[in-house]
Structure 1
Amino acid sequence: MLPCRSIDTMRAILHASLLLVLCCWCSLARANTEKVIFTAPDASIRDVVDALDTSTINAIGELSAARESERLRLRVELPRAFPTSEAPRGVDSWVHLRNLKPGARYEARVCWAATAPSDFWLSVHPHSNGERVPGSHLYLKISAIASYYTTNATLMTHPEPVLVDIILDEFLLGVLPRSLLNVGLFIAFMAVVSWYVGIWMLNWIGAVAQREMKKQKAA
């Protein structure tokens, strides 16, 4: 049995290693994120009763799942407003989601800087375009309000647009967003390395403890 002091030392080293790994990832936490998870319809949804009438909206851009993963990101300035009784969620913006795989699971995210206080609501809507097209097509609705207070009367009356990244991410096997695959592999790699390092440290501390016990007995 290992002495209590050796066990405490091992725990302290393991905790320090975990803290180091977490600190390495802190630099990635640079923005706020709001997201919506949805499943693409199995077929064209032109016949859905509650389908969106696209003639009444003006999309700010589009994201196509048929493109390379690097192009599934849209950087744009979204208009926002302070909430009112008529528009409690501020200003609505729309993004056309094209060529979705029928039945596939997706995640749409909006990321923005923490220095631009805002609140977002995301939802997806079918639309009716009067024709059948391959793949599934939806519209992403993004509602944005300003959530700050300033003594600047102009900014309180007319909030500036907020710069955002809008990301379309397909789930791999319906579980893990594709863009997080590298992160998942890194975490798995670190878990394996930590396991073997932990075993090595345990054996090393055990050997040191046994030598100390033998010295004490010899004395």
Structure 2
Amino acid sequence: MPSLARHHSRSTIHSKAMKPLFCLALLLAGVVFANVEKTIFTAPKPSPLQSYQDLFDDLEIERLSPQAPSIRTYALASFPSEEAPKGFENWFYLDSLKPGQRYEVRVCYLATQPTSFTLTTYTVSEILDSPSLISSLTTFSASHLPTLLERLDKDYRQNQQQHLAADEHPPSNPFALPPKLGHSSRQDASNRASTSALFLQVHAAADYFTVDKGLMENVPPVHVDVILDPYLFHLFPKSLLPTTVYILILAGIAWVISSFVWTGFEGVAGLSKKTKEIGRISLGSVVSRGKRKYESLDGLRRGLMEEREGGGRRRLRRLRGLLLTICSNVHVPLSLFPSAPIIGYVFH
């Protein structure tokens, strides 16, 4: 019993200690956000305006397609203002989309560059019907390339210095410029007619505060990965297929192991139940045997007492007979005996 009490007290202390940790984990789950923003859309039907693809080939914007589903680049950002409440506007071109196919575009960025992204897709006709979108697209195309070249050149110089400091050969390619639409792989008329295209608008708003005036006045470009991911059966992204298979394999293995563990628990529980039943039966038999022994001992005690009382009576009767015999053969007055009252009582 003392060991059981100590075990119960330890389990109680352990449960009390785990409650604050569990509550803290719930609070952290509410304030932690992933550094990924995405939008989900369905590819539209092919537009007749796509036959004028050459009009968009001179735009200096990155291109994504199922053949080239991801790019690593820099997104321009700014603090929200009255002119740009969502931040700076970045543009990407989504090409060779399968009509009716569900896609998602993800923008992954560094956690050290807090930025708020807003993703919106537009068809070619929506772009041509909106002068503001055309102006934004052309402005970005004109300003994006010089900024991107400057940033890539700066990264190249830093990498070159690191390689020289480590006595390594510097990289041969100074920087990899994302291909513009005119340099992308040309599609023939039949393939272009069977696919669709969209423009992706990405607003990037700086979401930080620092005492560094330089960072507050000039927001540096944000290093991002832009990923185009098709959906499988309109249920989940294709990139999650290996993870899904891995989880299913783990679930199957866990199910098999749990069945063995459950069988073992059932065996232990059944053995414990049988042990308790056997203990009850043995205890009942011990009690019944003890009761029978007690009853037999009580009967023996009573028998001994009765035998003792009966033996005393028999001895008195024998003594009485002996005295009668003596008195009948020898005539002696009883008053001569010192124990006359006792002898008289016996003869009575």
* TM bin (shorter chain): 0.7 to 0.9
Residue by residue over 1:128-185, the C-alpha shift from the partner in whole angstroms, topping out at 9 and shown as x without a partner, is 599x733101111111010000000010011111111100011111111111111111
Identity of aligned residues (%): 36
Q: Are the aligned partners of 2:116 and 2:204 in contact in 1 as well (CA < 8 Å)? A: yes
Query: 1:209 Cα shift?
Result: 2.0
CA distance in 2, matches of 1:193, 1:45: 52
Q: Are the aligned partners of 1:58 and 1:94 in contact in 2 as well (CA < 8 Å)? A: no
User: Structure 2: 5+ residue runs without aligned partners?
Assistant: 1-31, 129-188, 280-348
Q: Are the aligned partners of 2:40 and 2:103 in contact in 1 as well (CA < 8 Å)? A: yes
Query: 1:201 Cα shift?
Result: 1.2
State the partner residue of 2:44: 41
State the partner residue of 1:146: 206
Residue by residue over 1:45-65, the C-alpha shift from the partner in whole angstroms, topping out at 9 and shown as x without a partner, is 529xxxxxx76x955311112
State the partner residue of 1:190: 250
> What is the DSSP-based 3-state SS (H/G/I as helix, E as strand, rest coil) of the residue aligned with 2:259?
helix
CA distance in 2, matches of 1:170, 1:209: 51
Quick check: which has more Rg, 1 or 2? 2
> What is the DSSP-based 3-state SS (H/G/I as helix, E as strand, rest coil) of the residue aligned with 1:159?
coil
Q: Are the aligned partners of 2:46 and 2:197 in contact in 1 as well (CA < 8 Å)? A: no
> What is the DSSP-based 3-state SS (H/G/I as helix, E as strand, rest coil) of the residue aligned with 2:220?
coil
What are the residue-to-residue correspondences of 1:2-17 with 2, within 5 Å? none
Q: Kindly tell me the number of residue pairs found equivalent between the two proteins.
A: 179
State the partner residue of 1:208: 268
Q: Are the aligned partners of 1:30 and 1:113 in contact in 2 as well (CA < 8 Å)? A: no
Q: Are the aligned partners of 1:59 and 1:93 in contact in 2 as well (CA < 8 Å)? A: no
Residue by residue over 1:57-109, the C-alpha shift from the partner in whole angstroms, topping out at 9 and shown as x without a partner, is 955311112x1xxx311111111000001100111111111100111111011
> What is the DSSP-based 3-state SS (H/G/I as helix, E as strand, rest coil) of the residue aligned with 1:46?
helix
Aligned-residue CA RMSD (Å):
2.5
Query: 1:31 Cα shift?
Result: 5.1
What are the residue-to-residue correspondences of 1:53-132 with 2, within 5 Å? 58-65=59-66, 67=67, 71-127=68-124
State the partner residue of 1:176: 236
- Which structure dedicates a bigger proportion of its chain to strand? 1
Q: Are the aligned partners of 1:63 and 1:74 in contact in 2 as well (CA < 8 Å)? A: yes
State the partner residue of 1:167: 227
Q: Are the aligned partners of 1:109 and 1:166 in contact in 2 as well (CA < 8 Å)? A: yes
User: Structure 1: 5+ residue runs without aligned partners?
Assistant: 1-28, 48-53
> What is the DSSP-based 3-state SS (H/G/I as helix, E as strand, rest coil) of the residue aligned with 2:258?
helix
Structure 2 residue identity aligned to 1:168: L
Q: Are the aligned partners of 1:64 and 1:72 in contact in 2 as well (CA < 8 Å)? A: yes
Q: Are the aligned partners of 1:63 and 1:72 in contact in 2 as well (CA < 8 Å)? A: yes
CA distance in 2, matches of 1:176, 1:151: 43
State the partner residue of 1:19: none
Query: 1:30 Cα shift?
Result: 10
CA distance in 1, matches of 2:60, 2:240: 27
Q: Are the aligned partners of 1:97 and 1:137 in contact in 2 as well (CA < 8 Å)? A: yes
- Between 133-142 and 154-163, the greater mean CA deviation after superposition: 133-142
Q: Are the aligned partners of 1:118 and 1:146 in contact in 2 as well (CA < 8 Å)? A: yes
TM-score, normalised by the number of residues in structure 1: 0.74
CA distance in 2, matches of 1:86, 1:142: 16
TM-score, normalised by the number of residues in structure 2: 0.48
